[in-house]
Amino acid sequence: MHIGLIGYGRMGQAVERVATARGHHIVGVIRRETPIAMREAVAQQADALIDFSRADAVPDNVALALATKKPLIIGTTGWDAHRLAIERQVRAADGSVLHALNFSIAVQAFLKHAVNLATQLLQLEGWDVAIEEIHHRGKADAPSGTARALAMRLHHALDASHEPVYPVPTERRLDENQFAIGVLRVGSEFGTHRLLLDGPFDWIEITHRAKSRDGFAYGAVRAAEWLVGRTGFFTFQEVLNDILTHREEQR
């Protein structure tokens, strides 16, 4: 498969490593300063585009993918406010876009099982919950997309009875129906997420810690392999079943 990269920071470079190792070819890189004509040329050569650039660039990158009729993987976070408008745009144009707040396969398993456990225990008397995430000091958005995904899944699983709060109030205590999201930014941390459960007699902590960016890159490349030949507006959750059951082979 021929892949065009949008953005060439640390995640873009990780995607290049993983894609090359899986036998794919990087046909070009689109950066902030890349002229429009060159952007279109890269897209035309690609079978799929993978975007790990900036949140404010996502609408333009979607427009490029639709104009050139290329599948687009969006790994950039922080563009939630535009999601519904972009989904309508993609479906109206019969385009092909797949997005995720986190492309790590292990993170998706972590989210599923963490929410299931928390949902069970929070129905019992005396249990409380919180979320903590830690990332490198250069990360632009907070809380992380994964922390937001965990918070919202938990919120919906509990029928909206518990409301996530960030930042934590400084002049009052949390309401009984609120739970906190804690954020730390330090050094070069790839990403750590914790679900914290405190009960009358027990403390449970479920942690996912990324060892490198390659796990996120691997998921994005697998998503690109899955997306080619499909049209629609997808989430990574729709890819996972094929990956985990080994039904989707490398193209």
Catalytic residues: 135, 139
How far is the C-alpha of 182 from the C-alpha of 211, rounded, in Å? 21
